[in-house]
Structure 1
Amino acid sequence: MPSPGLAWQTLSDPGALALVDADSGRAAALGRPHPADLPMVQIVDIERLAWGWLVPASRPQSERHLREQVAADPLNTMRGLCWLMAMWVVAVHLRTGRQPTLLIAELHVPGIWRGAQVPTSAAVWEDLAERIRLGVLAALTSDGDADARFEQGLRHPAGIAPVLLDYALRMLAELHRRMLDHGIDPREMAGTLALYTIDPQDRATACFRPLT
């Protein structure tokens, strides 16, 4: 559901809705991905599990289900998480005016590893965080080259996907905290989009498009 100051509006495109920030006057079209690339039903399920992970009481169960999904379908599970973060980034952009690409560049994994006393660990963590940022950027821009590089980053080295899931969830939690700081509640945003839109016919249509 939209936060105070944010509202959904219909568009002529049946595969998208407009998300409008009444306070800033900024608006963006949010659309479903093509089902061959990422089924909307999977995004909604990931949104439900991600929200459960953010709640301490339901975190163990939600994390178990997410790990099962990433074991069964690592590409679409991680694409779905990155797509969800891209949608949240757009909401922050509408509220603050900061460009989505800059917001993505600022995504990081919080922790003591970022200190100067652990440069080797910091380099490893930054490399993994950059893979997630690439996935979020690919979702935001519908850039096929970025998506291909993201897919490569999920496959090499073997077994890296569960590690990247951990990083993605912590980055998502940091983004969620930032949203709350700006008075944005992202609950059920993907679910609302799924409820009031249909799958697009044109695979080339970007999911996130500025309207103002």
Structure 2
Amino acid sequence: FSHSGFLGIASDWNKVKGESIRITGSHKSSITHYIWAKFEEFKTRFVSDFAEIVPVGHAAVATFPDRPYLKWEFEYESQGGDPEKVRRDNPLTYMRACKKLYDFFCSFSGIAQGVTDPSGPTPWEDIATPLESLIRYEAPKQERVSKWKTAIAKGEFFKPKSADKKLHYDDGLWRPRLVEYRRKRNAPIEQSDTYRFICAAREHRRYVLLELLPTMGILT
């Protein structure tokens, strides 16, 4: 949902007027300075000339779509007509997306036996308010992560198990398993998580480019 309005492929439709990007919400000055600092850092590290040559996804607007609490606006570069100003209300978009995800998992729980809470899902009305509070919480990433962990551990969305109270994300968790696999003699590479991930990524790319986008009329 944060990619709404941008294509996940290289396309001129992703080009945005850099000077048109503005923060419009009544945000704390500290968070506004933080966002613009991150924006400049992002441009230095990634956007610059690369985004001009290969305009992929929402790179032109950096991480603005990915910040749940942010209200902002921008203009696309002209595509044969007048520039279009787009106003984004991320909290509203995120709440709509959360409701869609909630409905999806409720439907899944109706057909998946043995993996759901026998008492049924927590009513949306009970979780919408604390959820929106978290989405609108303005802070750097790690502070928001801590806020989410606390809410989950307190059972604001569901009945937490012991593992739910010890949530931790480690982007390098897969590396020790790769080392362990390499130490095993005669271990088929097809059984490694690394191999399976690469296969899954390749299949996802094939599906998006050859099936999904042509079906939507975006690629032919």
Q: Which has the higher helix share?
A: 1
> TM range, normalised to the smaller chain?
under 0.3
TM-score of the pair, normalised by structure 2: 0.25
TM-score of the pair, normalised by structure 1: 0.26
The structure with more radius of gyration = 2
